[in-house]
Structure 1
Amino acid sequence: MPRPKESFEDIFPCEFYTPEELLDPDQMYTIREIARLLQGLDPDADIDEDTEAVIVDWAVPWVMLNADDLVIGEPPTEDAPGYYGLRTDDGSE
């Protein structure tokens, strides 16, 4: 159900990190790790499954929105997650 803006004590701008602000150019990250970074956490932070599910839901659209600035690394095994990294000036790794 919608709520009036005045019912909130604080309202903040909806701003997200750019890939350059978020990712180390020499590293590749899973969606789960990107989700943690978007929340200001360490990529290997221990969080509960429910929280992880919510932040991953935010990370997937972020990756899609920023796809032009990212590269994808093939998963090391069939059942492993994919890895994403920052695209460099030459358009690759």
Structure 2
Amino acid sequence: MPRPREEFDDLRDFEFREPDEVLDDEQMYTVYEIARLLQGVDPDRELDVETENILLDWAIPWMLDHSEAFVFAEPDDENEPGYYGLE
């Protein structure tokens, strides 16, 4: 439900970082790890499913928007996620 602007004390600009500001160019990451890093969360931190889903909702469009910056590696097992890194 919408809320009046005056209820908020701290309004900030809406910005996304560039991939090279988030990822180390010598590492490969799962989409789950990228989602955590985008939010400043340790990539190894365990999260509940609901939180993980919210982070993925932000990360996937960001990755698609920056798709030219990424390379992809197949997962070790078909039941595991693939890995992404900087081009």
Q: Same fold (TM over 0.5)?
A: yes
CA RMSD of aligned residues (A): 1.2
Residue in structure 2 matched with residue 37 of structure 1 by the alignment:
37
Which ranges in structure 1 are unaligned for 5 or more consecutive residues?
Answer: 88-93
Correspondences of 1:12-91 after superposition (within 5 Å): 12-87=12-87
Q: Distance in 1 between matches of 2:26 and 2:51?
A: 27
Could you tell me which amino acid in structure 2 is paired with residue 9 of structure 1? D
- Give 5+ residue unaligned stretches, structure 2: none
Instruction: Output one character per residue of 1:21-79: Cα deviation in whole Å (capped at 9) or x when no partner.
Output: 10010111111100110110111112222111111111100110110111111122212
Moved over 2 A (4+): 1-7
TM-score normalised to the size of structure 2?
A: 0.90
Q: Distance in 1 between matches of 2:85 and 2:6?
A: 40
Q: Which residue of the partner structure matches residue 11 of structure 1? A: 11
Matched pairs, number: 87
% identical equivalent positions = 53
